[in-house]
Amino acid sequence: MLQPLAPIEDSRKTLSAQVHERIRDAILKRLLKPGARIDQNQLADNLGVSIVPVREALKRLEVEGLVSIVPRRGAFVTEISLSHLDDLYYARALIEGEAVFRAVPRLRSEDFTVMGAMIEQMQAMTDANDVTGYITLNRKFHTHIYAALNNQHLMQIIQNLLDRSELYRYRYMYTTRDVAVVHQEHRAILDACIRRDPAAARDAAVQHIQHAQRAIHEYVESDQP
């Protein structure tokens, strides 16, 4: 049974974007459980909208890897899968590691200032237990580096991998996380960038992704019946 969601009210965004945001948030916070069938009519009633923006949102969420749409059966929240998790983070380490390596020579001193401020903000957010804010800013920290490459195709690939990672990241962050280690890893990435050491930055980024993969894998494995 879906817990009640607040009706759509924010007129600054399109209706479709607001519905997508609400359903996505419900999935990531496990108000809609992994594997659950999504009642589109109930969602539409809950949000006070027609069925059309709900269907549009679900199609977008399918692209992001959070929903599976099965012909003649309906839409389902993506199941948690250890093999999917491991494959996903393996791909991220390969692609993001190379992206960091190639981005380092293009970063400017202003970028380092922005990244340093982001690390401080993330520390404040973990202190305040602001999981949503932390994950959003963590994503901005990493994509800020990749943006230096000015390669839209690469960024789209990385954004898609990050979208698919969030189902696992939220589940883990809402339970336990060695945040001190994570902040140290972010600082190691930034320090290598400041030193203009592409290889060290790549190694730090890959280790950061691999650490997250191992931690999430262990948590999900222990949480399964």
Residue ranges of domains in the chain: 15-77, 82-223
pLDDT (tens digit, 9 = 90+) per residue, 51-102?
Answer: 999 999 999 999 988 999 999 899 999 988 899 999 999 999 999 999 999 9
- The CA-CA-CA angle for residues 56, 52, 32, to 5°, reads 65
Give the Å distances, CA to CA, from 220 to 134, 143, 158, 185: 21, 26, 23, 22
Whether the CA torsion 128, 132, 138, 144 is positive or negative: it is: negative
The residue behind tokens 């950061």 is 208
Alpha carbons 32 and 192: distance in angstroms, whole number: 40
- Edge-first strand order for the sheet with 74-77 is 37-38, 74-77, 67-70
pLDDT at 80: 84
Alpha carbons 132 and 139: distance in angstroms, whole number: 11
The correct CATH number of 15-77 out of 3.40.720.10, 3.40.50.620, 2.170.120.12, 1.10.10.10 is 1.10.10.10
pLDDT of 225 over the 60 cut? no
**Is CATH 3.40.50.800 what the domain over 82-223 is classified as, yes or no?**
no
- Higher pLDDT: 173 or 142? It is 142
Instruction: State the first-to-last Cα distance of the chain, in angstroms, to the nearest integer.
Output: 22
Instruction: Please name which of 76, 75, 78 lies closest in space to residue 66, comparing C-alpha atoms.
Output: 78
The chain-wide mean pLDDT, for the chain, equals 90
pLDDT at 116: 98
Alpha carbons 217 and 112: distance in angstroms, whole number: 32
Alpha carbons 15 and 10: distance in angstroms, whole number: 8
pLDDT (tens digit, 9 = 90+) per residue, 159-184?
Answer: 999 988 988 887 676 555 577 889 99
pLDDT at 5: 63
